[in-house]
Structure 1
Amino acid sequence: MDRGMNHLGKTPRQRKDKKPRNRRATSILTYWTLRYFLILFAALAIIAGGALYGIRETAMENRSRTAAMLGQEVADRVKNSDGTVHIPDNLNAILDERMGLFNMNLDVCLLVADPAGNALFTRPQMTEQQVEEKLDPNPRSGEPEYQLVRTPIMENGEEIGGVYISQFRKTPAYGSHELLVFAGLFSVIALSGWFTIYLLSRKLSRPIRRVAESARQIRNGNYDVELEVKTGERELLELVDSFRGMAGRLRQLEEWRELSLAGVTHELKTPVTSIKGLVMAVRDDVVIGEEAKEFLDIALQESNRMERMVADLLDYNAFSSGNVEVRRDRLDLKLLVSEIVYQWKLPHECDSIEIDYAFPDEMVYTTGDALRIQQIVVNLLNNGMQAAHPDRPLRLHIAISESDGRIDVEVADNGAGIEESDRDYIFDRFFRSEKKKRQTRGLGLGLTYSRLLARAQGGELQLRSSGPSGTTFSLQLPM
């Protein structure tokens, strides 16, 4: 038998990798109502026990006082002026009346004794042994089962006897009626508290359950969820509103993902198809001479365009995965921006582009990566050129300013502007407006990648303004 196998045929590795089963989850309604009821019941039980004990002790104290009053009255009735004890004939009748008035139970024992402890009167009738047990303050059984109240019979300052009243401690201090009322109140409080937390938990769990059901639908790929929850609690209302916004955003992202995938495929397929057709025309001698050379030039331009799109994809993926290093150099921003704009303008000398600058007189230094700043500024200049208005020459305005410990590099154009419906999405990956799709080819990663580069250097790239008279982007860098 293999040593790596146990008697059940499983190796230690298999036993170790076996995951324990998840416990069955309970609903909020069941969880909170059950625990609240148990806590409430325990708290009420403690309160009820303390209250019953207090009531019982108070009742016993009151009974002791009542017994003392009865004993004093009996003592006054049985003493004579000559210093002797005389039991009147109507004493039992008087006791019946007083016990009924004081609501004393029939298990109360009363003794009248002389100073030597001899019983002169007992109620009910008792033997001498019973009298001795009643008068013994320290019975053999330990804690006495009855409470003994002694009232001395005094005459001229001399004790001539005593009245002893004993009441059993096991005698209930409250009757069945009081117990029923107390139990009823206890039940009403417990059920009212449980019903209250049940209603509150039910009201709390209902919107959460609907949100969870909507999240389950989104997880299954259904983004068209209708979450109708009416609630007055601010936190729940914020949760539902945030979830609606998230669901709408996910739906838009899913639509953009599908459109972007189709757009990227189309943008990459178009130059490939064009290059293939142009090369085949030259190979098959469909065109010859200068026309063939022109076809090859067009194919080269298409291959360069496709190369730039693939490079954009590679750069974006590399930066998203954290494989792009950003330097932290001290840079003269005025000199750097001037060189970037000069180099960018060289291939566009014939395009009649006006560029004006608004730089401060003093030197402006920042900390960043010169290559990454160049990529951002060049992308903004290219966007400005693509947004040129057909009825007016393109004019670009480059400004550098300092404010709140940061440096702003503004790139403004006088183009046609960005549609208001597109302004919230221009930094999303693969987003391209319909107008831009018709005019230029691309993947919609330029502004997304530029913002990532700006944030990697501790800065930010924002759309400052846009309208029919032009668009302004702001690159913020640390001073």
Structure 2
Amino acid sequence: MDRRMKRKKMTSILSYWTRRYILILVVGMTLITLFAVYWIRETASDNRQKTAGLLGQEIADRVEVGQDGKLSVPYTMNKLLDSRMGYFNFKGEFCLIITDKDGDLVFSRPPIKEEQLHQWLTKDLKSRDPAKKVIGIPIGDEGGRTYGQVSLLLSKRSLAASPNELALACVLLVALILCGWLTIYLLSRKLSLPIRRVAESARRIREGHYDVNLEVDTKEREIDELVVSFKDMASRLKQLEEWRALSLAGVTHELKTPVTSIKGLVMAVRDDVVGPEEAKEFLDIALRESGRLERMVADLLDYNALSAGSVEVRRDRLDLGALVSEIAYQWELTSKNEGAVLSVSTDFPEAPVQAAGDALRIQQIVVNLLNNALQAADPGRPTVIAIRLRAKENRASIEIADNGTGIAAEDRPHIFERFYRGESKKLRTRGLGLGLTYSQLLARAQGGELRLLESSPEGSAFELELPAAPPAERSERTSA
């Protein structure tokens, strides 16, 4: 099954965030609106009760009390109620009841009968209907005597009714939701656009197209850093892909050349193309070619092992003078046995130079530098290699200088890159271009560094720098 078909259905950032923000916004605003409506209704009910109390007090003040204690309602009461009802904006179920001190009906608006009064109100003039509320104002004199009561019978729903406030709350709710949706939509769209372009560019890179034209105009620092980093990554990937193809071709060529040579030489001997003397010479050449092939394969394996972190590197207390002297002596004997004409000089300080490192790995680095010096020898002058030891603050260094042809200026920045070989070296010697790269990795695995100090047509100088050994250094193993 296609890998794309296995992937679950995805949604865009724009849709994802917009939908969820709207959902959260609607829920949040709905809760806020419900609370606001409840608060508005309670506030409106409280204000209307106070307003009804003021109206009842005014009516109670206008009711006349006779000498016999009987109540007399002015004939202008209906006119007064008409004006006050419009002024106080009382709507819905409303009933004004005036009773005497015995609870008998004196006046009502709208008119009701005595039987209705007792159906609606209890003896203490409270509402029998839970949906209605009675606001009672006593009718009395300055002496504190009560002659009756003005009762305003109102429905609780009409008290809490506030259509204007509710309409305003709904309008604000809708406006806030729309503004919030528009805001998150625009922000999500602005955020998703560069990410979508980066994703499209990544898809092109996955398909093998490294020429990415990613032009995104953004003021957000994080997005700008993402775009710039992606551009740099795409450029680096393009370089690595070009380097990979070139390196693969170079490695293939370098490995194929000795194999082809060995094959041709062995076939010539097998088919009796050459005589016995020449056959022996051909076999010697094939043996040397197989040795070169073996060394190239070993370099490749060593480099891969060190890059994967599977090479063990020790941290022992070493006397660099004794170690380097032994390495130089053995290498010089081997090289002279192979016919090389050279001289190796050493310059060591009187005091021992102590370092923390791995003797075997240091030998690999030094031998590789000596081999490179020999390969760079100038045929027009004797080969001289100088080895110097220097003790620095918390560091120890091994300098190896030669009087060879030097390294071309255009090759110097790349000599530690894997599989890199200068044009002049390609013509003189065969190899994979891993020697200096591997040596530098070994130096860094020991906490040191390998660098090119100088190079000119009169020769080159390299420095291997290692950490100095503390007074009480103990041997330990580390993984490179």
TM-score, length basis structure 2:
0.82
Q: For residues 339 and 348 of structure 1, what CA distance do their matches in structure 2 show?
A: 14
User: In 1, are the aligned partners of 2:355 and 2:467 still within 8 Å (CA)?
Assistant: no
Aligned match of 1:434 in 423, 443, 446? 423
2:366 maps to what in 1?
377
1:161-176 alignment runs, 5 A limit? 161-171=148-158, 173-176=160-163
Q: Deviations over 1:396-450 (max 9, x none)?
A: 45444344x5555555667634646762x54443233434323322112223333
1:55 aligns with 2:40: yes
User: In 2, are the aligned partners of 1:384 and 1:396 still within 8 Å (CA)?
Assistant: no
1:9 maps to what in 2?
none
User: In 2, are the aligned partners of 1:380 and 1:473 still within 8 Å (CA)?
Assistant: no
Q: CA deviation at 1:461?
A: 3.4
Q: For residues 116 and 384 of structure 2, what CA distance do their matches in structure 1 show?
A: 125
Count of paired positions: 454
Q: For residues 358 and 71 of structure 1, what CA distance do their matches in structure 2 show?
A: 117
Q: Residue 69 and residue 471 in structure 1: after superposition, are their counterparts in 2 closer, same or farther (change >3 A)?
A: farther
Q: Residue 106 and residue 213 in structure 1: after superposition, are their counterparts in 2 closer, same or farther (change >3 A)?
A: closer
1:152 is paired with a residue of what secondary structure?
strand
Q: For residues 341 and 174 of structure 1, what CA distance do their matches in structure 2 show?
A: 105
Q: CA deviation at 1:391?
A: 8.7
2:210 is paired with a residue of what secondary structure?
coil
1:461 aligns with 2:446: no
Q: CA deviation at 1:75?
A: 0.9
Q: Deviations over 1:287-306 (max 9, x none)?
A: 66877665554444323222
Aligned match of 1:226 in 187, 209, 213? 213
Higher RCO (C-alpha under 8 Å, 6+ residues apart): 2
2:15 maps to what in 1?
30
One-letter amino acid of the counterpart of residue 451, structure 2: L
One-letter amino acid of the counterpart of residue 131, structure 1: L
Q: For residues 6 and 260 of structure 2, what CA distance do their matches in structure 1 show?
A: 55
Q: CA deviation at 1:153?
A: 1.5
Q: For residues 54 and 230 of structure 1, what CA distance do their matches in structure 2 show?
A: 48
1:91 maps to what in 2?
77
Q: Deviations over 1:80-117 (max 9, x none)?
A: 37454220001011111112112222522211111222
Q: Deviations over 1:228-267 (max 9, x none)?
A: 2222211111111222222222222222222222111211
Q: For residues 252 and 312 of structure 1, what CA distance do their matches in structure 2 show?
A: 24
Q: CA deviation at 1:222?
A: 2.3
One-letter amino acid of the counterpart of residue 313, structure 1: L
1:154 maps to what in 2?
140
1:239-318 alignment runs, 5 A limit? 239-278=226-265, 296-318=283-305
1:188 maps to what in 2?
175
2:434 maps to what in 1?
445
Question: Could you tell which deviates more after superposition, 180-189 or 281-290?
Answer: 281-290
User: In 2, are the aligned partners of 1:111 and 1:164 still within 8 Å (CA)?
Assistant: yes
One-letter amino acid of the counterpart of residue 364, structure 1: Q
Q: Deviations over 1:358-384 (max 9, x none)?
A: 658254141x43212211222233344
One-letter amino acid of the counterpart of residue 171, structure 2: G
Q: CA deviation at 1:213?
A: 1.8
Q: For residues 316 and 171 of structure 2, what CA distance do their matches in structure 1 show?
A: 81
One-letter amino acid of the counterpart of residue 116, structure 2: Q
2:72 is paired with a residue of what secondary structure?
coil
Q: CA deviation at 1:33?
A: 0.9
1:163 is paired with a residue of what secondary structure?
strand
2:137 is paired with a residue of what secondary structure?
strand
Q: For residues 467 and 295 of structure 1, what CA distance do their matches in structure 2 show?
A: 38
Q: CA deviation at 1:45?
A: 0.9
Aligned match of 2:193 in 176, 192, 206? 206
Q: For residues 21 and 263 of structure 1, what CA distance do their matches in structure 2 show?
A: 40
Question: Could you tell which deviates more after superposition, 287-296 or 115-124?
Answer: 287-296
Q: Deviations over 1:36-70 (max 9, x none)?
A: 11111111111111111111111111101111111
1:401 aligns with 2:391: yes
Q: For residues 351 and 115 of structure 1, what CA distance do their matches in structure 2 show?
A: 141
1:8 maps to what in 2?
none
2:93 maps to what in 1?
107
User: In 2, are the aligned partners of 1:417 and 1:471 still within 8 Å (CA)?
Assistant: no
User: In 2, are the aligned partners of 1:360 and 1:400 still within 8 Å (CA)?
Assistant: no
1:171 is paired with a residue of what secondary structure?
helix
1:364 aligns with 2:354: yes
1:170 is paired with a residue of what secondary structure?
helix
2:58 maps to what in 1?
73
1:211 is paired with a residue of what secondary structure?
helix
Q: For residues 445 and 182 of structure 1, what CA distance do their matches in structure 2 show?
A: 76
Q: CA deviation at 1:164?
A: 1.1
One-letter amino acid of the counterpart of residue 52, structure 2: A
Question: Could you tell which deviates more after superposition, 312-321 or 382-391?
Answer: 382-391
User: In 2, are the aligned partners of 1:110 and 1:165 still within 8 Å (CA)?
Assistant: yes
Q: CA deviation at 1:28?
A: 1.2
Q: Residue 192 and residue 389 in structure 1: after superposition, are their counterparts in 2 closer, same or farther (change >3 A)?
A: farther
Q: CA deviation at 1:387?
A: 5.1
Q: CA deviation at 1:269?
A: 1.9
2:209 is paired with a residue of what secondary structure?
coil
Q: For residues 174 and 386 of structure 1, what CA distance do their matches in structure 2 show?
A: 102
Q: CA deviation at 1:221?
A: 2.2
Q: For residues 384 and 18 of structure 2, what CA distance do their matches in structure 1 show?
A: 70
Q: CA deviation at 1:278?
A: 4.5
2:474 maps to what in 1?
none
Question: Could you tell which deviates more after superposition, 239-248 or 406-415?
Answer: 406-415
One-letter amino acid of the counterpart of residue 450, structure 1: S
Q: Residue 439 and residue 147 in structure 1: after superposition, are their counterparts in 2 closer, same or farther (change >3 A)?
A: farther
2:473 maps to what in 1?
none
2:203 maps to what in 1?
216
Give identity over the alignment, percent: 54
User: In 2, are the aligned partners of 1:450 and 1:461 still within 8 Å (CA)?
Assistant: no
User: In 1, are the aligned partners of 2:133 and 2:155 still within 8 Å (CA)?
Assistant: yes
